[in-house]
Amino acid sequence: MITGIGLDSIEISRIAEKCEYPGSKFAEKMFTEHERRRSARNSRSPYEHLAGCFAAREAFFKATQIWVRKTDVSVAQRPSGEPYYVMVAHVERELGDRRVSLSITHDRTLAHAICICERPD
């Protein structure tokens, strides 16, 4: 049974501006080390990846109603390219028996993410 759906979109340029602002600690505060390393390897646009992670995390919060520090939930990718959430232990405990599914997409200017939260019937 679906218990929540979260959807978020963000302009990629907003993430770029916040990360590039002189003296900004935005990337360190908002993204895990893994997310930052993966974005640096994205030759097309490092900020596209970070914007996708940001939107995915916001979608997670909306779908689950679990409000935690931004870096307590991060985004990783399976070898197939499918994104999934990585959570610290206390977030997993709060999630309980619910499962979350994630999809991320981008266009030229925006990153979009949807999270579906389900509980077994």
Residue (of 31, 6, 2) closest to 103 by Cα position:
6
pLDDT at 43: 59
What is the tally of structural domains in the chain? 1
pLDDT at 90: 94
pLDDT per residue, tens digit, the chain (121 aa), is 999 999 999 999 999 999 988 888 999 999 999 999 988 887 578 899 999 999 999 999 999 999 888 889 999 999 999 999 999 999 999 999 999 999 999 999 999 999 999 999 8
Helix (H, G, I), strand (E, B) or coil at 50: helix
116: number of Cβ within 10 Å: 17
> Are 111 and 56 a contacting pair, CB within 8 Å?
no
pLDDT at 31: 93
Q: How far is CA 19 from the centre of its chain?
A: 16
Which residue range(s) make up the domain with 72?
2-118
d(CA 48, CA 65): 25
Collect all residues with Cβ–Cβ distance below 8 Å to 3 and sequence separation of at least 6.
98, 117, 118, 119
pLDDT at 70: 84
**Domain CATH code at residue 64:** 3.90.470.20
Sign of CA dihedral 61, 67, 70, 74: negative
